[in-house]
Amino acid sequence: MSESKRLIYDLSFEELEQVVSEWGEPAYRAKQIWEGVYKHFWNDPEQFSPLSKALRSKLAQAFKFNSLSPNINLTSSDGSTRKILFKLQDEQAIEAVLMRYGDDRRTLCISTQAGCAMGCVFCATGQMGFRRHLTTGEIVEQVLYYARQLAQEDQQVTNIVMMGMGEPFHNYDATMQAIDRLNDPTGMGLGARRFTISTVGLIPMIERFAEEKRQVNLAISLHATDDKLRSEMLPINDKYPIKDLIKACHDYVERTGRRVTFEWALIHNENDSPEQAQALAALLKGLLCHVNVIPLNPTAGYAGEKSSKDRVRSFCDTLESKGIPCTIRVRRGIDIQAGCGQLAITAE
C-alpha cells in the first residue's frame, strides 16, 4: 500500500544507509541512491540504472518519490517568475516560486508550512490561517522539482529563500533538516550561504539558530519601529516585542559575526515616512545589518496600498544617510500573485 511507503526525501543519508544495510546490500549502494536523488534528480526507481533490477524493485516497494502534485503552473508576463501550486497527499496545498535574475541566478522561494499561524495582516498566507507543518521531505521535494526542470535547460538552482508559505522557525526542525539535506556536499551541495530564512521574529528560535552558528542567512520581517503599529500588523509582536527582538539580533550578530537583514514592506502613509526611516535608523544603530525595503504587494484581505516610487526612494535615502545599508527589492511575479506576501490557497 502506498500509505506505508516513506517519502525518500524524509530520510537522512544515515537512515538510507541503515535501510540498505537491512536489505543486505553493500554500503556503496546507499551512496548510489543518494547521488541519484540529489545529483541526478531522479524521481522514479527505474531511473536508477546503476542498481540491479531487484534493488530497483525494493526501492519502488519501500519509498515514494513524488508526494507533490503540480496542480496550477503560472508564468509571469515577463517570463522571469514561475509559480506552481502543489497539492499534497492529504489534499492540502502549497505554492513555490522560481525567480530568474540576469543570466545565471535562479532563486527558489520555498514553503515550510501549509498556511501560517502568524496572522500578519498584509500577508495572504497569514490571512488563510494555519493548516499544517510540512515534513522535511516535502520541503526538499519542492527544490528537487524545480532543480529537475532547470537541469533540462542546462541551468541550476543557485539560491533558496525560505520565504514561501509559513513561518520557517515555527517548523524549525524540519526546515533545518531540509537545508542540511540540500547542503550535503555528497548530494546537491548547495552552499549554506545560498540559503536565507525569513522569520517574523520568534526569539527562542533566533537564539537557537545563533547557538548553532550556521552560515545560513537570517532575515527578520520588521515593518515598524513602535510596538503598537507592529502589533497591529504582526500579532506575534505582542509576545516578542521590538526591544526584545532587536536584542536577540544583537546577540545573534555577536555570536555568529553574521549580518541580519531586516525586511520592511512599505505601506503608503503607514510606515513609509521620513520620520519612520529616521526611527528605524536609530533602532538599528550599531547593529551589523541591512534593510531590504519592499513596496507592499497587493492581497485581497488587506486594504493598504504600496508606497509611491518617490517615497520608497526617500525612505531608502534617509536610511543610507544615517549609515544603514538599504536595498529596494525588485518586485517579481505580481501579475501571478507570486510576490512576497501573496502566496495563498483559496479555501475549498
Q: Catalytic residue numbers?
A: 95, 340
Among 319, 322, 324, smallest CA distance to 289 is for 324
DSSP 160-214: EEE-SSS-GGGGHHHHHHHHHHHH-TTTT---GGGEEEEES--HHHHHHHHHHT-
103, β-bridge pairs? none
108, β-bridge pairs? 98, 160
Any idea how long the chain is?
348
Question: 34 Cβ partners below 8 Å, 6+ apart?
Answer: 13, 16, 186, 187
Distance CA 62, CA 28 (A): 18
Work out the burial of residue 45: count CB atoms within 10 Å of its CB; fewer than 13 is exposed, 13-18 middle, 19 or more buried: buried
